[in-house]
């Protein structure tokens, strides 16, 4: 073992000229994986570390559209210190009626917050609002052109702004918000008059437990005592479940992109090692003539590759570990929670394992070939054919590849998805390898063109030692990555453009009192004569049982069954709602009066495996209603109207306290006057401008696009490195060809033109293949992983693919320049 290590260290003293590509490829791949893993871990740990502050307590019980009963309150207080927070949407407007905006109204008690700190910006008139006072978000004050000390109107109350909110500890736990926060105390909330029977609000009861009491025990006791109350209970371990689930899914997706970069980089490793060892053939043959065994030679070069690979992996780990710190400095305010800056061993260890296994898999084959280089090749040079390695070496390569797949599946949040990804990546590599063989086989059987340039370009595709297969894999991977990224990017940017219909509503209106619906319709007709008004009843309820299975007893909510999580919007209707199409069952008669019936979204039904005739139990204001599924509907969510997963038949829920919602479409010129009229006449009605919702969603999609683009760019860089490696691997053969052609009278321009035709032919063929593969991969990511609408811009995709093909052609020609520059006399002495 000492002799191979000594030879390796002596050889490395001569420099790393042949192993730079190996180091670059491994660095890129490992850095991408370590960065994604470290940032995901930092955010998830941030959520866990601040779980109490984010949730607002150790345990939180949420109730829709009602307050807790005395018995429930007594049970909550028995567990620990209690805080009551009411949340709802409302309109905040200037007293002169000139403008109004949607806000997230939060009414808190004196115990708020149980954890963390509520803090106002410098210049506040008091530490927190009391009575007819309000603290607002800075963006609300800016948009309404108000300052500290000014007054605004929310509901029926005139409230004085005592300060601008600087820190709201439970903001993240509230999930997606359309407006800025307006925080009042319980007296201020009562003064608004917004909490009425049927209003859409949520009561959250948060408990601060003694240190000796576990949240799980408290949750179990509450659920057992009030099994039919319709509570949504969370604890500090998962204070923001939606945010955590999104971060974990996005982290897995970005990890798989990083793994793609590493696999692509692995091919570059193989090309780089092949090129490096090809230049060592004379040295290897000489060592064998001097008595070195094949094992000594194999270990010597394995040590060299291992030392360089280890250094590259450590550098990649260091770069990846720094990403949470860099992201926090640059874009910390855009993150849902501040990441916990620390060193996370698990993602770094996984990234290092991936790097080592990838280096081993792709370096073993060229090492095995170098091991069996015969001593006679010293005298025969490049005429000595390469021998195939034995079955033991191929078995070792297969085992290492299997370990990579096992590691990817074992560490994935969704093993099935990871397994499918691994299978797809393997299928892509095999497909490109087969295409390379087919191109080479077809070129060998085509008739020889009369033009010497075309004849030479065709010969380059199938001549002995041609690197056509390697170039096809490198070009195919690079162009496929370009296309996939373009498809994802155009889909993300096109979501708003393609999913908003031309007749989208101008406004959504919430919390219209039942007794005021007719007056509201009259006002809308007067304020917006050309408006198209649609009103619909609205309630909130939670699905608490599917058949005889209680949702609370389900070990895991099925994927796609989002409507089982928490409260959902409900309505009742005599007719099939606009935007819905009946696909199974029958709609009830308009005058139906019988046992409760519902119509369910067909996708929701498929997610939990139920259909017509099955039963759901829905809790509305603490009352459980068991209803039979009468029909399944296909919902067109792109109408931007009110679409309800569950629609009741008449006669079941009309008597429950509820309100109405409305949408209205109108010319843009009437919007401001309409909004002002509604705010003045109906201060309790929330008016949501569709344009503002679109801007909020567009901002979220933009952030997602940046994340995808950043991760995918590493994969593209690795693909470029693979192409460079493929060119380096064929440099010896191309140098030989160039020298022979020069001796026969060919000029550099003609040789370069022939190689340009060769690369252009490969790029053209592979562009069509990459377009199909990239479109398929992009569709899967957009539709199945990100669950967005399929809306690519094919012109941009085609332009990106053409640009990628041009870049690869330029890189190919630049890679050929060293071979063209070789002097015949010197090259003939070394070949």
CB 321 within 8 A of CB 31: no
pLDDT for the residue 252: 63
Tokens 């000796």, residue? Answer: 212
Its pTM stands at 0.63
Residue 648 CB contacts under 8 Å (≥ 6 apart), including other chains? 570, 571, 572, 573, 596, 597, 598, 627
Backbone φ/ψ region at 198: left (φ over 0), alpha (ψ -120 to 50), beta: left
CB burial class (10 A; 0-12, 13-18, 19+) of residue 745? exposed
State yes or no: cis peptide before 551, omega within 30 of 0. no
Nearest to 58 by CA among 8, 119, 115: 115
DSSP state, 389? P
pLDDT for the residue 659: 87
pLDDT for the residue 719: 63
pLDDT for the residue 229: 77
> What's CA 105's distance to the chain center, in Å?
30
Instruction: Give one DSSP letter per residue of 25-36, joined into a string.
Output: HHHHHHHHHHHH
10-residue mean pLDDT profile of the chain (831 residues): values are 77 69 79 81 72 82 88 92 92 82 90 90 93 92 90 91 90 70 94 84 92 88 83 73 60 65 69 73 75 80 86 91 81 64 87 85 78 57 55 78 80 73 80 88 85 81 74 79 80 61 72 88 85 86 87 78 81 88 91 91 90 91 88 79 86 86 82 81 80 63 61 61 63 71 77 81 87 86 73 84 81 72 64 53
Nearest to 129 by CA among 158, 103, 163: 163
CA 455/CA 194 separation, integer angstroms: 83
The first and second tokens of residue 714, run together, are 């590493």
Nearest to 312 by CA among 339, 372, 272, 367: 272
pLDDT for the residue 378: 45
The first and second tokens of residue 60, run together, are 């939180």
pLDDT for the residue 579: 79
Work out the angle at residue 724's Cα, subtended by the Cα atoms of residues 719 and 726, and round it to the nearest 5 degrees.
Answer: 95
- For 500, the 3-state DSSP assignment is coil
Strands 180-185 and 100-108, by their bridges, are: parallel
Q: Which helix (H) or strand (E) holds 742?
A: helix 731-743
pLDDT for the residue 383: 45
Tokens 């270990």, residue? Answer: 299
């Amino acid at each position: 073992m000492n002799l191979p290590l000594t030879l390796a260290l002596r050889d490395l003293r001569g420099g790393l000229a042949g192993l730079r590509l190996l180091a670059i490829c491994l660095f890129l791949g490992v850095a991408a994986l370590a960065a994604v893993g470290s940032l995901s871990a930092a955010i998830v740990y941030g959520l866990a570390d601040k779980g109490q502050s984010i949730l607002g307590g150790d345990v939180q019980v949420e109730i829709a559209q009602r307050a807790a009963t005395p018995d429930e309150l007594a049970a909550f207080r028995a567990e620990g210190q209690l805080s009551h927070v009411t949340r709802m949407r409302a309109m905040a407007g200037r007293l002169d009626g000139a403008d109004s905006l949607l806000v997230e109204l939060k009414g808190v008690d004196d115990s708020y917050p149980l954890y963390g700190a509520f803090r106002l910006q410098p210049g506040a008139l008091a530490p927190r609002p009391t009575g007819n006072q309000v603290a607002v978000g800075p963006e609300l004050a800016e948009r309404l052109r108000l300052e500290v000390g000014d007054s605004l109107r929310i509901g029926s109350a005139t409230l004085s702004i005592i300060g601008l909110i600087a820190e709201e500890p439970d903001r993240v736990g509230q999930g997606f918000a359309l407006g800025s926060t307006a925080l009042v105390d319980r007296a201020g909330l009562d003064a608004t008059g917004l909490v009425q029977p049927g209003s859409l609000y949520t009561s959250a009861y948060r408990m601060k437990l003694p240190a000796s009491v576990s949240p799980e025990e408290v949750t179990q006791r509450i659920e057992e005592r009030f099994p039919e109350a319709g509570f949504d209970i969370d604890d500090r371990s998962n204070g923001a479940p939606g945010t955590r689930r999104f971060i974990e899914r996005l982290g897995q997706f970005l990890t798989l992109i990083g793994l793609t970069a590493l696999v692509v980089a692995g091919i570059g490793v193989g090309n780089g090692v092949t090129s490096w060892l090809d230049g060592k053939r004379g040295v290897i043959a000489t060592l064998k003539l001097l008595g070195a065994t094949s094992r000594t030679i194999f270990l010597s070069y394995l040590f060299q590759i291992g030392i360089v690979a280890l250094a590259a992996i450590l550098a990649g780990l260091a770069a990846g570990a720094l990403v949470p710190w860099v992201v926090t400095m640059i874009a910390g305010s855009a993150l849902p929670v501040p990441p916990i800056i620390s060193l996370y061993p698990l993602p770094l260890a996984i990234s290092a394992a991936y790097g080592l296994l990838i280096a081993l898999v792709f370096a073993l084959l060229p090492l095995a070939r170098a091991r069996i280089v015969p001593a006679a090749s010293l005298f025969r040079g490049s005429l000595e054919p390469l021998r195939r390695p034995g079955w033991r070496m191929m078995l070792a390569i297969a085992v290492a590849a299997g370990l990579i797949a096992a590691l990817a599946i074992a560490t994935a949040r969704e093993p099935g998805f990871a397994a499918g990804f691994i299978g797809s990546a393997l299928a892509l590599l095999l497909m490109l390898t087969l295409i390379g063989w087919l191109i080479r086989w077809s070129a060998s059987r085509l008739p020889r063109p009369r033009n010497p340039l075309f004849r030479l370009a065709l010969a380059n595709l199938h001549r002995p030692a041609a690197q056509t297969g390697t170039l096809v894999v490198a070009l195919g991977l690079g162009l496929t990555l370009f296309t996939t990224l373009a498809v994802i990017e155009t889909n993300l940017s096109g979501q708003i453009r393609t999913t908003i219909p031309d007749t989208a509503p101008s406004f959504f209106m919430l919390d219209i009192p039942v007794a005021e619906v007719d007056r509201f319709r009259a006002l809308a007709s007067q304020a917006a004569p050309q408006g198209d008004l649609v009103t619909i009843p609205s309630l909130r309820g939670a699905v608490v049982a599917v058949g005889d299975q209680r949702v609370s007893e389900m070990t895991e909510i099925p994927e796609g069954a989002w409507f089982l999580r928490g409260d959902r919007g409900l309505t009742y209707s005599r007719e099939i709602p606009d935007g819905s199409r009946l696909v199974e069952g029958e709609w009830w008669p308009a005058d139906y009066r019988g046992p409760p019936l519902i119509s369910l979204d067909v996708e929701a039904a498929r997610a939990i495996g139920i259909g017509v005739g099955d039963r759901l139990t829905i809790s509305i204001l603490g009352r459980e209603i068991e209803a039979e599924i009468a029909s399944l509907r296909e919902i067109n969510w792109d109408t931007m109207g009110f679409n309800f997963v569950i629609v009741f038949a008449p006669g079941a829920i009309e008597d429950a306290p509820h309100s109405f919602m409305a949408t209205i479409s109108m010319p843009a010129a009437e919007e401001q006057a309409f909004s002002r009229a509604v705010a003045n006449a109906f201060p309790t009605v929330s008016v949501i401008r569709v344009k503002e919702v679109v801007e909020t969603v567009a901002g979220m999609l933009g952030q997602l696009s940046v994340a995808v683009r950043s991760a995918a760019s590493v994969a593209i860089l690795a693909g470029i490195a693979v192409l460079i490696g493929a060119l380096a691997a064929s440099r010896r053969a191309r140098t030989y060809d160039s020298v022979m052609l020069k001796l026969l009278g060919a000029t550099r321009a003609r040789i370069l033109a022939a190689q340009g035709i060769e690369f252009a032919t490969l790029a053209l063929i592979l562009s069509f293949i990459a377009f199909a593969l990239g479109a398929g991969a992009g569709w899967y990511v957009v539709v199945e992983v990100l669950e967005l609408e399929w809306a690519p811009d094919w012109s941009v995709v085609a332009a990106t693919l053409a640009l990628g093909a041009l870049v690869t052609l330029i890189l190919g020609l630049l890679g050929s320049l060293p071979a063209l520059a070789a002097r015949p006399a010197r090259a003939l002495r070394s070949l």
